[in-house]
Amino acid sequence: MRFGLEEHDWALVGAKLAQADDNDQAVFFKSFVKECLSWGTHYQVELQLAGVNRKLNDGEKDVLGMIGYKE
């Protein structure tokens, strides 16, 4: 039980995040990245995100593509 939280309905959390504005969504992703970087190495983060990537279909990957887009 991390951060005093027990169980989540992650589908509901995702739906609520999708309905939030870009300010709240940015806060979420910034805190997600900050927590990931606390694990120790960038490699550990890459392994975790690679695992997530394998579970997404091509359409989901396309939608999320703008999050990592650099000009």
Q: How confident is the model at residue 69 (pLDDT cuts 50, 70, 90)?
A: confident
Check if the beta carbon of residue 23 is closer than 8 Å to that of residue 34: no
pTM: 0.81
Domain ranges in the chain are: 30-71
* Close Cβ partners of 61 (under 8 Å, ≥ 6 residues apart): 53
Would you tell me how many other CB atoms lie within 10 Å of the CB of residue 25? 14
pLDDT, tens digit, 9 for 90 and up, residues 21-66: 999 999 999 999 999 999 989 999 999 999 999 999 999 999 999 9
pLDDT, tens digit, 9 for 90 and up, residues 7-20: 789 999 999 999 99
Report whether pLDDT(1) > 50: no
Would you tell me how many other CB atoms lie within 10 Å of the CB of residue 28? 14
Which DSSP category does 4 fall into?
A: T
